Structure 1
């Protein structure tokens, strides 16, 4: 594994300290240079051998290893690359990182990696001990209040014991019954794959329970094993044999397994239709059982299963259900009436429904993006008059997440892609308060949580600087905030985390009062700065896409001579009214420089402000500018923003990304030769699309775990579940719009392309490594510049240990810097 070898080589060198919106200055691009090139009669593309499809085929692995060695040989003797790798690993292994924790049975749990434990240790401590370690510095050896951790599982030792390349996936500690806090279900994988195995773990004896002891187990598969309502039952979805897996390779049947019972004898809770993508069962914090079947992305049905429901059991019942084409649930199960595209949530007594499409119910119409709430019991019994609108989106704001505490609903709202928190309190919590008017008692209360103090505000000099008409709402804090219920079953405590592009994360514990106000907020941890952010300015701008849509993007970096001045994390954000396109560049006299542009644009995933210490150390400290685009296909502005970039509208994502590139070039931030694009997974597809559709705009591209062959993706691993996102290549009309965007097919023999770096993993069982292999093979056959690195482990994430992640991150930024500077020098 070349990256691992590079990291190892470094450690043996003593003394080495190594390693949505309008842009006044951007006219909408012309139709003739904004759209992907139409397929034309051209020389036939070089064929790719079928053996590259075999993930662990001997010939394919030999080819991948040879290409990886070729690529890495250009970096492993570079002292700057080696120093950067070491610097990044020190950040990843630093002892004063914030230990992210979850609470269970009055203890807090954390999974931790460091130089001594590269695979990690699972550990726990008491609340008092965890709080004693605040705020940010590691405790002194003589400090009696130092945090004390009890190590439950050493994954490095377990790896040696089993002789397997184990990677941590997660653990679920039992929270109810006599075994609460004494048992857990621990999930691991082989090398970071999506396929996992789960085994019951004794927390007191610190060991896995054998099946002969009645321990719960799930073999390696893409299914799940979770606790039922008590410690004697589990809910299992798995590969149960013939017909039990969906076209995407995911389970289509879920069963309730009792302690000591064989899976073949378990109760059959739900069986999805033969074309369903995945089917599962789960138990909520209050002990209720829920069933779910997903026919595709945006097509989900949910049922509540009463405790006294009659449920068939045994192998005959299971096989009979799997043999049927249709969906099968117990007769007593009650389906939650809601659009199949909606997201369903439950609290102790309330149901929430977040809409992605218009919905009419009980004579009223509700719009996409709305969050609706209703008393759960009444809804289950068919009453529809208690539905309340808890959140309604605006042109700039969208509900990103919602989490219940015992008595409150906490919303994370994106307001022009910056986060804020709102607490919604149901009327039952305060309706009896003295002094409340009777007419108001049925209304939910709403409180904002003020986190503006967590972000840097612009200095007087920055505030007095000449305004840039492309910026959005200058001076407003740009934050990523998250809220997580500590123990939603019976408390109103929250973990609140906040960070910005140059502001390290702060972890706070807060308590909500009966009326939803915050009290007792205290800082548990505050991470130190990991890179030199002095002079780094943060701003948010807008570009104009081909159809006139305003596309926001974040810009982080030190202004060069004459370049536009943004702000710190008190940056900018918002979608102002359209301004006159074609205005002169705001950055007259600027000195363009190396710029790394990141994008994703799929699955409704939002690109929000967050502290990125590795990018800060590897790119910003070196003088580069980092840019993150918020294209359509993402979730920054709600369902409409996402859907506008899916299926036959996928070209809009590419147009948005290209518009951001043009904006950066037009504003003088960078030049085409100095601009490198980067994306991972679906973002890897976007990087490949930029390479093949708009090579004139960039100096290089980096694609991690990329989806590149749109003709075959539905037949590779879990690709079948993404049809609604990227289109159906088996539909001739869909394929007509998809082919120009499929990087593997859009290459044109004889055309010049900037260099491409492809990174993938043999162990990626989500996006098949054949995507990257075939692209690299074809580009090499065409005589094009392409680097290729394939890890042997790491799965879809691409990295299993910090040394591997540090080496990969260093490679990405070293490649980007070379591409940005070499092509720029050549162009000059």
Structure 2
């Protein structure tokens, strides 16, 4: 089962792996006459405007001159580059027909290689890799700034995988083009499928048919900039002649194609209508019928796959199926007979598969050939369970993992018996684990040596008490025997949104540039995330969002109360939605921190819904067009709450010109307020990087070196 759901703001976390994925066209900022009259900095929203870019270059020049003059910068950049481009990385990949496909970047292959090797060779210490596409060469040959963003390959039961749609982004934007590629000849298919640049979603139906959602011209994208019309495109015909099969409205977030493969090999065509960011209706497009059929499942639910004829579904809301005796809770995993629905088009009896307890949350399900696996959070750490239906209901069995850190299912596919897991924690580097479906055993396929000196470090978990009495967990990584005298330079990271969990993870960059230097690192599991399931997320939505900020403040205050650190030595960092968190912290508690790294942020919450993909997030933040929600947003919006008379800590704003998800105007305008007020700030805008603010590992090393140089100056040298 393959569904495409629009992108959400992502946290920038140094240890995050980059999977193969589809991403999606930058929009110009919407006009707002009222805002034009009241906002003197609206010109900074002109992404490629000459005046705006002149200002950006001036800020970059000043900040780079200051930070790169610090002798630590060169050391940090070299250390980050060494880690990020080291061959001592696990080459995570996708298995197709006994071959492991991997995307690899290093100091030589800056844009990266798409390559493959056999499963047997992959298990060795030195796999024999065969290059499929050299993206540095492709970009040079075509004179384009190509960034590889994933491959969508046609799967047919009993047939080898040959044709893929390769996604290429200009400079790292969410907008992509898709070009058909032949894995056998290792060439792009002459006269094959090629799409124009757009935020788009594509699903293979068969070798000669695609379902595609794209920008079809004026009036065919939503206020969020995503498509709402899905068409069926036949090989050999121009895209303009593709047949419309389903549409939504401009008020939707977007509409996306999907396909569902049954266990007998039949492919069901379908679509997902994202009415809001958190509600989706799923549709079946029966062949030969004009009207789509809606799947009878809640709007707040996520299909997880089909296993042994059972359609698996995770719930983000309570559900009492009509005419049935069993009611289900938010966070449950449930199932029903898929063939029974297809035959009757009525909802069959629904059964409970797994119910998490108060400290648990369902992360997702992966279906392999012969097994279904469930990933869960358990008190913020990870567990993986095997699921099996039986006459008396579903049973679960836990897989044996190396520890209580972050574990995940990195590869499982209904066509393949190979299953790969991954494990890491704050002090343990990544391990790639293999799961044997027949024996149930977990074995280590690859493991990495330590990339920073973890000797003398330890990890503790504490709970801070938020303003409303809620206990909020956080992890702290620190030197054993750390003096509790408030002197430890401490970096606190947070996100708190979109049901994204912040789990224990190994970050060699943070390890080398911060922990080895004597700093402590703290990860806050605040509400708005998914650490304890949908309810933990929903507790911080819209008018309740102050809870997220209260949680983060509570963690900061708890660190100070425990005498781990003090305001002079406490710094904070967050990206995207976490960048909004940083902006709020600047305004609400400038006394609590001495350094604030604001990465690719949302900051103008009165206009965020008019910029790029912002309209898709109104169900997270609330809408400035709804009076009650606007009134609340006015109380927390960092841009509108800036006060030139306040003693702010010197912030560091980081963004990207090419980010077509979170508009760079947010960071630009906030920094301009500091400039106009004569207050100190630092600013760096990568001209090429997308939402990660770095299009390649070299730029990523530069960005992180700048950030940690700034943090070191502010927190290690504080009096």
Q: Is this a same-fold pair by TM over 0.5?
A: yes
Where does residue 615 of structure 1 map in the other structure? Answer: 510
Q: Distance in 2 between matches of 1:446 and 1:803?
A: 44
Give the direction of change, closer, same or farther, for the CA distance of 1:412–1:302 in structure 2 (3 Å limit): same
Pick one of 347, 370, 374 that aligns with 2:336: 374
| Deviation string, structure 1 residues 663-682 (Cα, Å, up to 9, x no partner) | 00000110011111100000
Q: Distance in 2 between matches of 1:166 and 1:738?
A: 38
Where does residue 350 of structure 1 map in the other structure? Answer: 310
Give yes or no for the alignment of 1:390 onto 2:353.
Answer: yes
Give yes or no for the alignment of 1:526 onto 2:447.
Answer: yes
Aligned-residue CA RMSD (Å):
1.8
Where does residue 317 of structure 1 map in the other structure? Answer: none
Where does residue 688 of structure 2 map in the other structure? Answer: 793
Structure 2 length-normalised TM? 0.91
Q: Quote the offset at 1:81 in angstroms.
A: 0.9
Where does residue 406 of structure 2 map in the other structure? Answer: 480
Pick one of 92, 96, 105 that aligns with 2:84: 92
Q: Quote the offset at 1:561 in angstroms.
A: 4.6
Q: Distance in 2 between matches of 1:421 and 1:259?
A: 41
Q: Distance in 1 between matches of 2:153 and 2:220?
A: 28
Give the direction of change, closer, same or farther, for the CA distance of 1:424–1:368 in structure 2 (3 Å limit): same
Structure 2 residue runs without a partner (length 5+): 1-36
Q: Distance in 2 between matches of 1:698 and 1:149?
A: 48
| Deviation string, structure 1 residues 741-780 (Cα, Å, up to 9, x no partner) | 1110111131110010001111000010000000000111
Asked if 1 retains the 8 angstrom alpha-carbon contact of 2:486 and 2:566, the reply is: no
Q: Which runs of 4+ in 1 moved over 4 A?
A: 382-385
Describe the SS at the equivalent of 2:551.
helix
Q: Distance in 2 between matches of 1:683 and 1:656?
A: 13
Q: Distance in 1 between matches of 2:518 and 2:692?
A: 27
Describe the SS at the equivalent of 2:716.
helix
Q: Quote the offset at 1:806 in angstroms.
A: 0.6
Q: Which moved more, 1:45-54 or 1:80-89?
A: 45-54
What is the correspondence of 1:760-775 to structure 2 with a 5 Å cutoff? 760-775=655-670
Where does residue 128 of structure 1 map in the other structure? Answer: 120
| Deviation string, structure 1 residues 459-516 (Cα, Å, up to 9, x no partner) | xxxxxxxxxxxxxxxxxx3x10111443313x44311111100001110111223xxx
Where does residue 810 of structure 1 map in the other structure? Answer: 705
| Deviation string, structure 1 residues 777-827 (Cα, Å, up to 9, x no partner) | 0111112221111111111111111111011111111111212134x31xx
Q: Distance in 2 between matches of 1:46 and 1:746?
A: 15
Where does residue 202 of structure 1 map in the other structure? Answer: 182
Give yes or no for the alignment of 1:309 onto 2:259.
Answer: no
Describe the SS at the equivalent of 1:62.
helix
Where does residue 68 of structure 1 map in the other structure? Answer: 60
Asked if 1 retains the 8 angstrom alpha-carbon contact of 2:133 and 2:186, the reply is: yes
What is the correspondence of 1:692-711 to structure 2 with a 5 Å cutoff? 692-711=587-606
What is the correspondence of 1:702-741 to structure 2 with a 5 Å cutoff? 702-741=597-636
| Deviation string, structure 1 residues 66-90 (Cα, Å, up to 9, x no partner) | 0011011012222221011011101
| Deviation string, structure 1 residues 155-204 (Cα, Å, up to 9, x no partner) | 11111111111111011233328984332210010110000001011223
Give yes or no for the alignment of 1:535 onto 2:456.
Answer: yes
Asked if 2 retains the 8 angstrom alpha-carbon contact of 1:404 and 1:485, the reply is: no
Asked if 1 retains the 8 angstrom alpha-carbon contact of 2:93 and 2:411, the reply is: no
| Deviation string, structure 1 residues 508-565 (Cα, Å, up to 9, x no partner) | 111223xxx613x3322111110000011101110000110110001011145543xx
Asked if 1 retains the 8 angstrom alpha-carbon contact of 2:340 and 2:348, the reply is: no
What is the correspondence of 1:683-698 to structure 2 with a 5 Å cutoff? 683-698=578-593
Describe the SS at the equivalent of 1:365.
coil
Q: Distance in 2 between matches of 1:733 and 1:671?
A: 37
What is the correspondence of 1:563-582 to structure 2 with a 5 Å cutoff? 563=484
What is the correspondence of 1:395-474 to structure 2 with a 5 Å cutoff? 395-427=358-390, 441-451=391-401, 454-455=402-403
Where does residue 242 of structure 1 map in the other structure? Answer: 218
Asked if 1 retains the 8 angstrom alpha-carbon contact of 2:608 and 2:614, the reply is: yes
Q: Which moved more, 1:598-607 or 1:100-109?
A: 100-109
Describe the SS at the equivalent of 2:58.
helix
Structure 1 length-normalised TM? 0.79
Pick one of 292, 304, 329 that aligns with 2:272: 292
Q: Distance in 2 between matches of 1:815 and 1:193?
A: 27
Give yes or no for the alignment of 1:283 onto 2:259.
Answer: yes
Structure 1 residue runs without a partner (length 5+): 1-44, 134-138, 140-146, 311-329, 428-440, 456-476, 564-589
Larger radius of gyration: 1
Describe the SS at the equivalent of 2:288.
coil
Give yes or no for the alignment of 1:110 onto 2:83.
Answer: no
Give yes or no for the alignment of 1:500 onto 2:422.
Answer: no
Describe the SS at the equivalent of 1:74.
helix
Describe the SS at the equivalent of 2:335.
strand
Where does residue 24 of structure 2 map in the other structure? Answer: none
Asked if 1 retains the 8 angstrom alpha-carbon contact of 2:318 and 2:328, the reply is: yes
Where does residue 74 of structure 2 map in the other structure? Answer: 82
Q: Distance in 2 between matches of 1:559 and 1:688?
A: 32
The alignment of Structure 1 onto Structure 2 pairs a total of residues equal to 675
Describe the SS at the equivalent of 2:327.
strand
Where does residue 473 of structure 2 map in the other structure? Answer: 552
What is the correspondence of 1:769-784 to structure 2 with a 5 Å cutoff? 769-784=664-679
